Chains A and B, each alone.
Chain A
Amino acid sequence: EVQLLESGGGLVQPGGSLRLSCAASGFTFSNYAMSWVRQAPGKGLEWVSAVSASGGGTFYADSVKGRYTISRDNSKSTLYVQMNSLRAEDTAIYYCAKGVKIQLWLHFDSWGQGALVTVSS
């Protein structure tokens, strides 16, 4: 059974940093592209960032480009996102989402339970 478990969420001040992790199990992590998707309180889903199966390709939404860095450690089956220069509008539940193949730009067949990030003074 595929499991994705996010951690690292919490309260951070504007301008601060936070790193989220997503521990994956139940599948061969290194064979799948992975993404982060967020959902602001009461709002819809917004794709944030994606990384290729090898980790060599990374992609970002314009809203986080230059502030967020996605990475993965295939030896630990773990996905990360380093979030810097955080703003109030980054407040959201952050979901780890599994792609369906090595290639990007398809759909997400499994989601974690989410990690809440609150940016506030």
Chain B
Amino acid sequence: QSVLTQPPSVSGAPGQRVTISCTGSSSNIGAGYDVHWYQQLPGTAPKLLIYGNINRPSGVPDRFSGSKSGTSASLAITGLQAEDEADYYCQSHDSGLSAYVFGSGTKVTVL
């Protein structure tokens, strides 16, 4: 059971906007720790997509954006493309566990 909760799946047509939520608690996201997002394409290692809640590493399209509020964070994908079909994971730090914590993962399907 993951410490951070994500919806199992979201879907959208090409060009649409989808959002993925990541819900934590007062010992992780709510304690002020940053949220980061990773994209995992089928059969590959995860890749950093968003760090520090809102920042994109070099090379990540600006179609991807992150936000954080209270005990939750969100990843938005605008202008959905076929190559965005992947699993997406949020990650933060939990002070109570003294651990990195990941979300349960969300599969994005492009219809």
Contact = CB atoms under 8 A, between A and B. Distances in A.
B48 A109 contact: yes
A46 B102 contact: yes
B29 to A, nearest CB: 13
B63 interface: no
B51 A109 contact: yes
A47 B100 contact: yes
Interface in B78-92: 87, 89, 91
B8 to A, nearest CB: 10
Interface string A88-108: 000000010000100001111
Instruction: Give the dominant DSSP class at B's interface.
Output: strand
A44 B103 contact: yes
Contacts of A62: 97
B45 A112 contact: yes
Given A44-B2, A47-B100, A105-B100, A114 B33 contact: no
B48 A107 contact: yes
Given A106-B34, A107-B34, A111-B45, A35 B100 contact: yes
A79 to B, nearest CB: 15
Nearest to B95: A105
Nearest to A45: B102
A45 B106 CA distance: 11
